[in-house]
Structure 1
Amino acid sequence: MTTTQTGFETVIDHLHESHLESNVGQRLNWLRAGVLGANDGIVSVAGVVVGVAAATPGNVIAIATAGIAALVAGAFSMAGGEYVSVSTQRDTEKALIEKESIELKEHPQAELAELTGMYRKRGLSAELAKQVAEELTEHDALAAHAEVELGIDPDEYTSPWVAAFSSFIAFTLGGLIPMLMILIPGGNAVALTAIAVVVGLFLTGLLSAKLGEAPIWPAIIRNVLMGSATMVATYLIGMLFGVAIG
């Protein structure tokens, strides 16, 4: 086996590993987005139900109505926003792929030279870069250019429906925590809700830090403090409105 063949096989193996890592990275991004969606659900719904509970203590119907409204509106808002955002991203990716496809048909040699140059910039020798570019172009020119030049896999476009559904479910699951806790009969429902929310924020902060490979405690502290501040603010506002109405 020649040195060039060995180097070529190493490059192909590296490309395959990079593709797998990219797919794993995409799944982790979706998972992280789900965790953040759940976090939004916890904070948003908690803010509403705690505020209404402070304004109308013991009024289960008012609290439940406000909580359900916040849960439904928030979940659909998250899903709609994610659908629009990912649809725009998908359209952009398709447009870039179409443009690259046209360029490959009209200027194949120039595109081959461009791909060779990209591998040269990545540290390959001129001979090996040319061999890799030619082999990948022969196998699937569009995929080779899309992945190296654009960072897009033409066979795996992001689905806006999956993104919307994931966000809807994540927000709903997160929002159910304060929604159910505030309706527990007897005792101090607001205090129980606050404790449950802090625990939920602790867990979402921990998961988001783990998935993003970021420092754990700063992420947890930020998450808990911001969520707690939201509850305190809405509770105080609810008390002020409750006193004014009373």
Structure 2
Amino acid sequence: MKKISRLFVGAAVLGVSSFSLATDFNFEAGGSWFDLEQGSAWGGDFTWHFDPVRSGRGPYDQATFLNRSSNLQLDYLRESSGDFDAIGGMLELYLEGFFAGFGASRFSNGFDVDSYTLRGGWMTGPSTRVTGNWDRIEMPYGSNIDILTMGIKHVQELGGGVAFHVDAEVGGASNGSTELAHALRADYYPMPHFGFGLRSSGIGSDRDYGFGTRYFFTPQISGEFEWLRNDDTSDDTIQIRVGARF
């Protein structure tokens, strides 16, 4: 596994004065490179926001959530040698205080694994969302997994541009027997354009954990780094992403 000791050196000199200005965007696009235990992969993502999203209130990373932006997301991933690829999409709708999400994806590696997602809940405050979630993973030969969880997402502003974010889900996964399922992302933002935090997700003893960070060079351009390790196999995954808003 490649060790990455430095990222985005010199980013702080780009567009420093622009951070005081709020900006609107309708689209987001990104390109990613993945360092996998057995090779590498690349991916792309695109998001269309149905109404303009205004960054400038709270962390830039959480602008979509804080604006309650209804959107359509598409993403694609391909292993460098063509051994596998994946494609997916997600629709998120905010209607007054109600939230709904619908998603589907397919992973192909000589066989197909299909996943489906439903989200439903309420905005219980300006920066707090509570949801009930259902996920289904359809494996070959009828080996399917159903996951039911409750989730909460919250952004807490601490003053002076400092904020904290948590997105957590917990519940059960059923595939003949029931096991604990969880997902957690927790971020600290010492300034609106920079954040870092912990990641954890899994079913039963099959768990991934790690950390991630995102830095906005300008309100429109950002760089991200994510590292995950599987608790069962000790395999590492590194993702580097460059994103744009326009």
Interval of TM-score (by shorter of Structure 1 and Structure 2)? under 0.3
Q: Which one has a larger percent strand, Structure 1 or Structure 2?
A: 2
State the structure with more CA Rg. 1
TM-score normalised to the size of structure 1?
Answer: 0.24
TM-score normalised to the size of structure 2?
Answer: 0.24
Instruction: Compare relative contact order (CA 8 Å, sep 6+) and give the higher one, 1 or 2.
Output: 1
